Structure formats: structure tokens, C-alpha cells
Amino acid sequence: MATFTQQLTRRLTKALTTLGHDSRQGKFIPVVTAAANTRFGDYQTNAAMALAKPLKINPRELASQLIEQIDVTDLCDAPEIAGPGFINFRISKQALATRISSLINDKRLGVDTIASTKRLLIDFSSPNVAKPMHIGHIRSTIIGDCLARAARFLGHDVIADNHIGDWGTPMGQVLYGWKTHLDQSAFSTNPIKELLRLYQLVKQQSESNPEIAETCLEETVELQSGNAENRALWKQFIEITMTGAQEIYKRLDIHFDTTLGESFYDPHLAPLVEKLLANGIARESDGAICVFSNNELDPKEDPLLIQRDGEWLAVPCLIRKKDGGFNYATTDIATIDYRVNEQKVDEILYVVDDRQSLHFRQLFEVARQRGITTSLKHIAFGKILGDDRKPFKTREGTVPALGDVLNEAVERARKMVDEKNSELSAEQKSDIAERIGVAAVKYAELSQARASDYVFSWEKMLALQGNTAPYMINAYVRTRAIFRKLEDIPRQPAGELSITEDTERTIAMKLCQYGEVLPEMLCDYRPNLLATYLYELAQNFHSFYEQCPVLNSQEPARCTRIALCETSSRILKHGLNLLGISPPERM
Ligand code: ARG
């Protein structure tokens, strides 16, 4: 089902062709956008201005020729020219009614699959072994899952891969800690907590004591060369970590297609480095093996160079240490090879925080030097801050564990449910509180601009008003309540729909735009575009519902309003599901 944007673009292209401006030769493609201010119309195009400039003709004149020529009578009221030559389109109430009638029967809610679909690998969550998932992982996990859901719905072939950190130096540190400082009873009570304690203790010790650092490295080497004891312990560490992670994924309804982890690529590392040496991409430097800039890029764009005191210095990508050990980057290079050659992907998205941005820029540059053309993108995000605008911490000053954050959110949601409604059974209340609590944490994340830092606030996250999960869920619950009142309401209107009131028009317009928002959100990987859309839809729904009686109105208003309620309900639920949120039917 073509969106209004697509239909207007086609009509515009046709009118331009008739006027002798053939846009098909790749010369000019008119752009139609949803208007930021709907006072003057729903859609806008700057086509006349963009085209008039190179042709050196008057843009307003071209605009008036265009609105003379364009055939949109079935879609819009008469188009209008504004300012230096914008053309505004206001969709007619009739066209809105027609589209709403077809939306109710459309399983895809007016969202077409994308024309050029890809095999897309999304690398997200990726916690490290022997550490519980902390609040920093929340962003990767929730954003990555949302992108995977949206990409699948739009038709891409998605592989969700959990690239867990289960190899390298930290493993040696936990092994050494286990052998020297294990508190067996603490381990029996809370294994992951004890592993984390060991890791932190030894990490600290090795920073001040080179001998311990050396022993840890030896433990890593033993592990990597197959020492049976170390392997068995390591397997146990992975199992403990993943059991904890799995509980969280289950609660968050998050699923992976593959969980290969860094260790999976280990057998490829040594041959990879040899190959890179042989083909001249890597070379030796001070005993280590590195990839340097090959000076093909503008130095300003080259992540293997840095400017100091007016001079460009090398910041090579290290792929084998002096002692023969491999680096995080080596594993990531090998991982790209596997994903490209074995998994046959067209694009890889790395949903990882922005502190790793140099790592990814270097990784992508190494891939470029090797002639890999697969699209590689770092979907970076900022930090979660506390009220003091410093990285969010618990009262004890530690990084909060994700599981604890979810528990607290659910507890707070439970209080809200208890205050709101006493008719529900205790079991129903627990289910609703779990859904709202999890939704609040996810929505707080997804409604933020991905690239910026944001302040974590319990009050804001669980407020019933504002751009929050409870507000959104409340709107959805309201739509469901209408249908509960009358079991036999026909979901399919018998007669023609008729839109007359302003609030009807506003919500109908919003509903028709779902198919425009989703591709746009995936294009820039910005879940907050979808969140904002749903927030506006919820606001529009509340206004419509307050002003327009539904069940007590006369036909054709009644069936129109029922159709608007039903479509709102479905789009709210569907959109929330794409955000990874499963709203309750009551609250
Ligand atoms: N395990 C890493 C960390 O927690 C993230 C891995 C991201 N993915 C990757 N392919 N490097 O920092």
C-alpha cells in the first residue's frame, strides 16, 4: 500500500515530466516530506525551488505551473504555494477515510516491505564472561533488539548475533583469581558475583604487580593452547555468565540467532595474521604486528593517523602483541571474514557504546584496505547518567546490575498498579507490573536520541504523563476498554467511513503515516523516531477520545470512530512490540 509520500512523489514526478523536466534520467528526484507544522498542510515539497535554481528560472512560477499540472484531486485539497516556492498538500478527508478503510484490512498496517532487502547481521548485547550484565549493556541490548525487530518486519533477513567476550586477557585473570582467591561459599551462593569479585581483585593486583600480570597472561596462554583444567574452568565460567544473561534475555523477550563469542574465532587468528603479513597489509613494528595507514585516505579521515603538533603520526591497529597474543581487533577482523564468507551477510551493524568508536573506525579501515566491500556500521550510543550527570551508579557507588534495575522498576510499577485498580487479581497485577516495569526501562532507553547521553530517572520513567511507557500503555489499554464494553462491535465497518471532526482527521492522518515512519527510523537506526511517533499517536488518541463519543454516536460517525479506535489499538500494539514492549490489556 503506497504511502501518501510515495503517491505524492509519483504524481509530482509525472507532472514534472509533462512539463519537460524528466526526472527519470537520474537528473532530479522530487522530495516530499511530512510537514513539520501542519497548519499549512500535511506534506510539503521544495521540488520547484530545487529545480528552478540550476535552470535559473523563477521558483514560484515553476511551482504554479506544477500545481496547475499535478493531478491530486483524489488525494488532496487544492495544493498551495508558500514562501519562495514550497508547495503544500493537505490530504482530503475523503482520501483519509478511504485509506483508513483499507488499513483495517491490512495485516501490515500500511507498512510495505523495503524494496532492496539485505542479509543483515546485528552484533549487540555482547556481555563479557565473568561479569554480570550491567546498565551499560542495557543500551546495546535494547537498541539492538529493537533494530532487529524493525528490520525483520521491513523484510530484511536478520541474524542477531551475541558476540560475547569470552577470550583474551580477562579470562586469564579470572582463572588466576579462581586458583588463588576463590571463596567457595560465596561462589555457591552467588557464582557470578564471586567471579566478578575475583576478576576485579586480580585486575587491580596485576596493575600494580607485574609478576601477577605475567602469571595471568600465562593462564590465558594455557587456556588458549588447550590446557584441560583451564578449559574446564573456562567452560564453567561461560555457563554461569550465560545462565545469568539468559534470565535477563527471557525477561526482556530478547532472542539471538547465534551466540558465537570471541573464542569461536580463535583458530582463525594465527593464519589471519600470517595472511595479512604475506599480502603486505600488516607489518612488524617493535616486535608487534600492526596495520598502518596506507595513505589512501585524507589524513583527517584516516583512523590510523593522528595529528600532534602539526604532524601526522601513526596510530596503528595492533593485531599481534610482542608476546604472540592476539588483540580484540584481531578477533574482530576474523569475525568479519566469517560473517562475510560463511554467513554471507550484506551488512553488519555493531551496536556498541561510543567509547569504542576508534576501535571500529580502525576495524573498518583495515577491512577497506583488504578490499572488503560489505557495509560495516558502528551504531554508537552514549552513556546513561545519574542525577548528578555522572555515569549512573548505585548508592554503594558500583555499576548497577541490569537485573536489579529491572526488579526495582517492576516493584515501582506494582505500587502504581495497586493504587490504580483494585479489581484485578494478585496474579493479574503481578503480570501487569512486570510488563510495565520492563516497558518503562526499555522505553526510557528507546525514546532517547541514540547518540547522546541521558539521565536515568525513576520518576520520569514511570510517570503516567509525558513521553513514557505508562502513558503509552494507558492509551493502548483505553483502546482495548472500548471493545470490552461491547463484545459484538463489528471490527469491520459496514458502511463508508466519514471523517468530519478535527480530532478525527488528526488521528487518521497519524495512523496513515505509520508506513512512512518505520523505514525512516531504520534508515538512520533511530528507535526514538518510532517512540516519538507512538507518543504523538497516543496524544492524538487521548484528544480524539475525549472529544468524540464512540459507542453513543450516530452512523456513519460511529463506524468511523470504531475504525479509528481499532486501527489505533493495532498500531499502538504493533509499534510497542517493535520497541520490544508487550503491553497489558488492562492496567
Ligand atoms: N564484549 C564487548 C564489550 O562488552 C563488546 C563487543 C562488541 N562487538 C564486537 N564485535 N566488538 O565491550
Annotate 143-168 with three-state secondary structure. Answer: HHHHHHHHHHHCCCEEEEECCCECCC
pLDDT above 90 as % of the chain: 81
What is the CATH superfamily name and number for domain 402-578? Isoleucyl-tRNA Synthetase; Domain 1 (1.10.730.10)
Higher pLDDT, 402 or 343: 343
Answer yes or no: is pLDDT of 24 > 60: no
Binding site membership of 350 for ligand 1 (Cβ less than 6 Å) = yes
pLDDT at 395: 76
For residues 148-159, give the mean pLDDT.
Answer: 98
In three-state secondary structure terms, 318 is strand
Q: State how beta strands 288-291 and 317-320 pair.
A: antiparallel
pLDDT at 325: 86
DSSP state of 112: P
pLDDT at 27: 66
Binding site membership of 515 for ligand 1 (Cβ less than 6 Å) = no
- pLDDT tens, 339-396? 999 999 999 999 999 999 999 999 999 999 999 999 999 999 999 998 888 888 877 7
Cell of 522: 531504520
Answer yes or no: is pLDDT of 186 > 70: yes
For residue 356, which atom of ligand 1 is closest to its CA? 12
Q: Measured between alpha carbons, how far is 500 from 519 in angstroms, rounded to an integer?
A: 30
Q: Among candidates 296, 303, 234, which has minimal Cα distance to 262?
A: 234
pLDDT at 392: 86
Phi-psi group of 126: left, alpha or beta (phi > 0 → left; psi -120 to 50 → alpha; rest → beta): left
Residue 379 CA to chain centroid, in angstroms?
A: 8
DSSP state of 494: S
Binding site membership of 293 for ligand 1 (Cβ less than 6 Å) = no
Supply the residue whose CA is at minimum distance from atom 1 of ligand 1: 165
Confidence of residue 320 (pLDDT cuts 50, 70, 90): very high
Give every CB contact of residue 490 below 8 A, 6+ residues apart in sequence: 559, 562
pLDDT at 4: 96
Q: Measured between alpha carbons, how far is 556 from 563 in angstroms, rounded to an integer?
A: 11
Give every CB contact of residue 249 below 8 A, 6+ residues apart in sequence: 125, 141, 255, 256
For residues 122-136, give the mean pLDDT.
Answer: 90
- pLDDT tens, 200-258? 999 999 999 999 999 999 999 899 888 999 999 999 999 999 999 999 999 999 999 99
Answer yes or no: is pLDDT of 149 > 60: yes
Q: Is 397 exposed, middle or buried (0-12, 13-18, 19+ CB in 10 A)?
A: exposed
Give every CB contact of residue 57 below 8 A, 6+ residues apart in sequence: none
Supply the residue whose CA is at minimum distance from atom 11 of ligand 1: 332
Give every CB contact of residue 228 below 8 A, 6+ residues apart in sequence: none
Contacts 24+ apart (CB under 8 A), 362-365: 362/291, 362/303, 362/304, 362/315, 362/317, 362/329, 363/317, 363/329, 363/332, 363/333, 363/336, 364/303, 365/293, 365/297, 365/302, 365/303, 365/304, 365/317
List, in sequence order, the alpha helices (H) in 225-356: 228-252, 266-278, 328-341
One-letter amino acid for residue 392 of the chain? F
CB half-sphere exposure, 522, CA atoms < 13 A: 27
Answer yes or no: is pLDDT of 123 > 90: yes
For residue 328, which atom of ligand 1 is closest to its CA? 11
Cell of 428: 493479574
Q: Is 73 exposed, middle or buried (0-12, 13-18, 19+ CB in 10 A)?
A: exposed
- pLDDT tens, 40-62? 899 999 999 998 888 888 999 99
pLDDT at 25: 57
Q: Measured between alpha carbons, how far is 431 from 415 in angstroms, rounded to an integer?
A: 13
Distance 327 CA to ligand 1 centre (A): 12
Answer yes or no: is pLDDT of 34 > 60: yes
* CB 4, CB 43: distance < 8 Å: yes
Instruction: Measure the CA angle with vertex 359, ends 358 and 362; round to 5°.
Output: 80
Q: Domain boundaries in the chain? A: 4-91, 169-252, 266-378, 402-578
Binding site membership of 165 for ligand 1 (Cβ less than 6 Å) = yes
In three-state secondary structure terms, 32 is strand
Distance 127 CA to ligand 1 centre (A): 7
* CB 349, CB 377: distance < 8 Å: yes
* Preceding omega of 556 cis (within 30 degrees of 0): yes
Other Cβ atoms less than 10 A from the Cβ of 134: the count is 20
Q: Among candidates 49, 19, 55, 54, which has minimal Cα distance to 31?
A: 49
pLDDT at 55: 83
Phi-psi group of 412: left, alpha or beta (phi > 0 → left; psi -120 to 50 → alpha; rest → beta): alpha
Supply the residue whose CA is at minimum distance from atom 6 of ligand 1: 126
Confidence of residue 169 (pLDDT cuts 50, 70, 90): confident
Cell of 12: 509530482
pLDDT at 490: 61
- pLDDT tens, 190-210? 999 999 999 999 999 999 999
Binding site membership of 506 for ligand 1 (Cβ less than 6 Å) = no
CA separation (Å) from 551 to 480, 502, 546, 564, 568?
A: 13, 18, 13, 12, 16
For residues 74-88, give the mean pLDDT.
Answer: 95
**Top mutation candidate among 121, 122, 123, 126 for ligand 1, by most atoms within 8 Å of CB:** 126
CA separation (Å) from 370 to 57, 134, 337, 364, 365?
A: 48, 35, 11, 10, 9
Q: What does CATH list as the number for 4-91?
A: 3.30.1360.70
pLDDT at 177: 97
**Torsional sign, CA 429, 434, 439, 444:** positive
Q: Report the predicted TM-score, pTM, of the whole model to 2 decimal places.
A: 0.94
**Top mutation candidate among 163, 326, 363, 376 for ligand 1, by most atoms within 8 Å of CB:** 163
For residues 458-476, give the mean pLDDT.
Answer: 93
Q: State how beta strands 80-82 and 86-89 pair.
A: antiparallel
Q: Measured between alpha carbons, how far is 460 from 446 in angstroms, rounded to an integer?
A: 14
Give every CB contact of residue 366 below 8 A, 6+ residues apart in sequence: 281, 291, 317, 329, 333
For residues 392-401, give the mean pLDDT.
Answer: 80
* CB 531, CB 442: distance < 8 Å: no
Higher pLDDT, 318 or 485: 318
pLDDT at 105: 86
Residue 219 CA to chain centroid, in angstroms?
A: 38
Distance 18 CA to ligand 1 centre (A): 54
Distance 306 CA to ligand 1 centre (A): 24
* CB 583, CB 576: distance < 8 Å: yes
Class (C level, CATH) for 266-378: alpha beta
Confidence of residue 125 (pLDDT cuts 50, 70, 90): very high
Binding site membership of 128 for ligand 1 (Cβ less than 6 Å) = yes
Q: Measured between alpha carbons, how far is 169 from 262 in angstroms, rounded to an integer?
A: 12
Q: Which residue has the cell 576501535?
A: 359
